[in-house]
Amino acid sequence: MTNVDEEIKAVLGADDKAFLADLEKDDAMPDMVVNAFRTNMRGWMIFAWVQTFVLVVLTFWCGYEFIVATELDRKMFWGLFTILGFFSTGMMKMWVWLEMSRVSIIREIKRLELTLSPPN
């Protein structure tokens, strides 16, 4: 049993101990968002946030065009794109939330792993 414990200690380096010290604090929602940008998916997170912002602007623009349209076919056209914009924005937000959840779960697994390892 101690042989396995010693192997675990050898695997844990200074980086892991610093990571464990960082994990000790409880994260609030803004911290979770920031942590999602600190992973190797940083580029995709930036892309998703920019795309979500663009989709929100386009959705509001389509909604405005829907409101000011007077003909039925124009109302249907802009209404369809408004609904598609809402769905697209929702899907992007869901992906961002799932990524934040994934990062949070990985942090919890790492915390559990480091907590279960024997102290030095």
For 59-84, write each residue's pLDDT tens digit: 999 999 999 999 999 999 999 999 99
Confidence check: pLDDT of 7 > 60? yes
* Amino acid 89: pLDDT: 94
The DSSP line for 10-53 is: HH--HHHHHHHHHHTSPP-HHHHHHHHTTSTTHHHHHHHHHHHH
* Amino acid 47: pLDDT: 93
Could you list the residue range(s) of the whole structural domain that residue 109 is in? 2-116
CA–CA dist 7, 3 (Å, integer): 6
Mean pLDDT (the chain) is 83
Place of tokens 């992906």: 95
Could you give the C-alpha distances from 115 to 35, 99, 105, 107, 110, in angstroms and in order? 20, 24, 15, 12, 8
The share of the chain scoring above pLDDT 70, in percent, equals 75
Average pLDDT over residues 14-31: 66
Average pLDDT over residues 90-116: 86
Domain count, the chain: 1
CA–CA dist 84, 74 (Å, integer): 15
Exposure pattern of 25-51 as b/e (b: 16+ CB <10 Å)? eeeeeeeebebbeeeeeeeebeebbee
* Amino acid 23: pLDDT: 59
pTM for this model (two decimals):
0.65
